Structure 1
């Protein structure tokens, strides 16, 4: 059984069911977990339940028919607010939290003002911050009073990919709800049902590479990306790739990913992520199998890689993983892309050929 059609999180739904039955819904929740596993959908359905005029305590379900349910689904309910970072902004603007300068101090502007008001109907005022990872220090401080002394009728849900991305002022004042990656069989089935792919084997591979995240798996479902990744894995397996040639090949691929800088950054992160997965697979294979049998138990490229001369060591694999993680983070910091690609590939070449 899945709660309200949201698969993989029944234990969390049961926790909220018990709290709802006892009238013990908290003031602030921090939903954390990989992207694309259902955090936002769960939060939205929970908001609908809290605002529903005829909720079922036994089934822990909204009626889906009353005017409140219809308004929440359409995004027009006066007691419901969904806030997301504007695409053109690096952080959630302070104005979205406490209003512009002329409104600040009135306690009736922005998200904070929304939660402070008496509910228009029902018991609660509910707000969801969909991109809580993009709260800067100023934004987190603006929420501090609401977090410390939430109005009795207020429910705030912050959605985050990782607790490490939240400031201590947020983590210490919120009830943390951890959403785990979806089981591979469930996530692969959902990819097929959503029409992202039609091959079960490829769906499972996408989910493994995406760490159980449906959103990331859908992003990875590009034939151009996988063609390039297959060629790149083969080059890595021989450890004899030309850095200049591959720098040019990666740049050409990124140019084909789109004109917007954000699209190219994401495409580069995807390639780096698949490279990281190559080294992770190699490390796991080394721990579980001998290099002599690796090519029969995993992909041929991993077998060739582990049997190359001189033998690659665990220390080198860990350094390659760290190199990829650092490059991934450098993309987020918007470092010059051409220089980043050259540096990343050159570091990998030195690590693999100094082994």
Structure 2
């Protein structure tokens, strides 16, 4: 459907590589399909112990993806190639590079923060920036950028978003989010706009505690949700669920939005009609301290409707918790299959199968 008519445009990876996806799905048992949903952190600067851990997670646990952080581009490419050679199913390689590879890697390009770009009169330069960032990622074997920040920075006391946002005007933020997304996706780089349903109006850093958003539904709809809605209309491939308490959307006190079926399934999937990848924010963050890091966070994230489980503290425990929930009937096998298929289609579209 056309975004110009106001309807959501399907993410471009949907339906990609049907024969390849069907073949891979047929060769995976249920546990392996669960493992495809796991994405762990990788660092090209760390030593042999870290590399051995990653090799085990890829070859023994069958994880689906890696997110690279600080390091060197040549070392990262070499490590990425090494780990890809050990994977039965090609790994989805991601980075959190909001303003370019230089945010994470030495000797790489760093672009201005989003707030500076938000002051530009037009969006053409932002599109070109997204295109160039994507081309640089392709050269490194990266398939996904966990960006852009789609939060509206409407609280000057916000300790974590501030200059990472395009600004305080929902309309302007929306247009620039869409421009950056299109620039990256036109080069077949997957993205994940964050932090749904909106981390802009908080005074708490979700890395350390659970922020609370107390706005009424009408305000959330017109401000916080607007950039995400416009990105969905434009066919965005992924959205990151934030760790936020939003009472107007989730009645259970203290339940993070990333763990909320009311928010992920009810708002993001049903109301906004998003059909792409839903990626959790990191599951090892302190904002989720109400849940033990023994697999419970990963389980609740799957129940809520997330596809990719980012950085669980204990991968075997996460997989085991999800398997047990399946046996108890708390999760349907069809849910796992749908997430696994979306991930595989995204991998094919981004070129991971080559």
TM-score of the pair, normalised by structure 1: 0.27
Q: Which structure has the higher relative contact order (CA within 8 Å, separation 6+)?
A: 2
- Which structure's residues are more often helix, by fraction? 1
Over alpha carbons, which structure has the higher Rg?
1
